Every structure is written in C-alpha cells, then in structure tokens.
Structure 1
Amino acid sequence: MIPARPDVEPVETAPPVLFTVVKGNPAPEELAALAAVVLSMGSAETAEPAKPSVRHWVRRQQLQLAPQPGPGAWKRSRG
C-alpha cells in the first residue's frame, strides 16, 4: 500500500456529462425522467445469433432427418 502524501491533495474527477439543457428551465423531475430514458436507450447489447449445438445435429441424424434431395428439400434443410 502506498502511503498518502500530505503535500498532495486528492484529485476529484467529475462524472461524465450526459446531456446539457440548451434552452428553458426544466424541473428536476423532468431532468430525472430524461436521464432515465437516455440511459435506458444506451445500454442495449446485441444478442449473438443462436447456433445449433452438436447435440441438435446428432439428434437429427438419429431421427434420419438429414437433408435429402427432392421436392421441398430446401424447407427441411434449415433444421
């Protein structure tokens, strides 16, 4: 652990600015509602597409559901 130096004051970092009010005088409740909406919009993460597992393909082979040529084969090829 590093001992605190008496001649150096700790530096306080300001939180990042989310938005600024350019015109008008909104109430604190209005600013809180706006902040909630803005924060909820930015936190969405994209989900990765689901990949079929090995078990899925083994099961298809056991049930003889492997794609076979013929009419409508393109419908069965998806799995």
Structure 2
Amino acid sequence: MTADSKPFLRIVRGDPGPEEIAALVAVLTARAGAAAAARDGAAPPPPSRWADRSRLVRTTLAGGPRPRGPGAWRASGLPR
C-alpha cells in the first residue's frame, strides 16, 4: 500500500481479533459478488445434486415413481 492511498477497511471502535476481521471481509466479499452478479443479470447456478432433495425419493429400477394407491404395498414388491 502506498502512502497516498486510503485503506479499504478501518476499525474505528473496539479491538477485533484477526478471525473477526476475516469473517467481516468474507461477508463483504460475498455481498459484493452477489451484487455484481445481480447487476450483470446472471442467473444463479442450479443447485447441486447434493442439495437436491428429490434424490431422496425412492424410485423403481426403471427410474419411475413407486406405485401409489390401494394395493401399492403389494405392487411395490412385484416385478413388472
């Protein structure tokens, strides 16, 4: 940093530790990135497969949904 430039962040009160300053910088960086993405009109990335709750729903071996309704318990154990 040169002598004529201003600091980006200045602590005016209190005595924060390095972890607290790092957390503040991380939050400010994330907010700036989100604001830039919103300004550019970029769509948010699709959720990952790990975050997709539909993967928890059981399906048949063919990939279709399990049978529903009366007698579904019997149909769920029979091969198609």
Q: For this structure pair, what is the TM-score category when the shorter chain's length is used for normalisation?
A: 0.3 to 0.5
Structure with bigger gyration radius: 1
Q: Between the two structures, name the one with larger relative contact order (CA 8 Å, sep ≥ 6).
A: 1
TM-score (norm 2): 0.37
TM-score (norm 1): 0.37
